[in-house]
Amino acid sequence: MITENSSSIHEKYGLETQAMIERLQASCSGNEYTQLERLLSFLEAEKLSDIVYYHAPANWISGAFICTATSPRHIDAVADKLRRFHFNEQKMIIDGEAKSQWVIASACGYIVHLFTQEMREYYMLDAFWHKKEGLR
């Protein structure tokens, strides 16, 4: 279940949990929503913070999660577990190395970005997605 994360990212961009839930439910079919909820539960159980979901109806991507890890070692541990995670019976593909402080996992048109706080602020993907979705 999507739970509220009181975070600077949510506050900065006005992303409230209820709005995130509504976008997630509206953008997916029943099974797909169940899979995304399962993935979100996994991310929360791994103690990632500032978890945000962005819906992106495009030819090459359906949506993206952006998450903050506590350290490169935390990213490495989560990425290792994501390698064994099945999304709609497809294994997650991992790209990047924890030492870079940014790893991307993908499956079935969904992406998970794992960042350290420093790299998340540096690359500003939240600002990109926020602008892309036209959120106010």
Distance, CA of 20 to CA of 4 (rounded, Å):
10
Please state whether the predicted TM-score (pTM) of the whole model is above 0.85.
Answer: no
Domain boundaries, the chain: 8-133
Q: What is the pLDDT of residue 124?
A: 93
Q: What is the pLDDT of residue 78?
A: 95
CA angle (102, 132, 19) in 5-degree steps: 90
Q: What is the pLDDT of residue 12?
A: 41
Q: What is the pLDDT of residue 15?
A: 46
Q: What is the pLDDT along the chain (136 residues), one digit of tens a residue?
A: 333 333 444 444 444 455 655 655 665 666 677 778 888 889 989 999 999 888 776 667 778 899 999 999 999 999 999 988 877 778 889 999 888 899 999 888 889 999 999 999 999 998 888 765 543 3
Which residue matches tokens 């839930």? Answer: 21
List the one residue out of 5, 14, 1 whose CA is nearest residue 127.
14
List the one residue out of 42, 66, 70 whose CA is nearest residue 55.
66
What is the architecture, at CATH level 2, of domain 8-133? 2-Layer Sandwich (3.30)
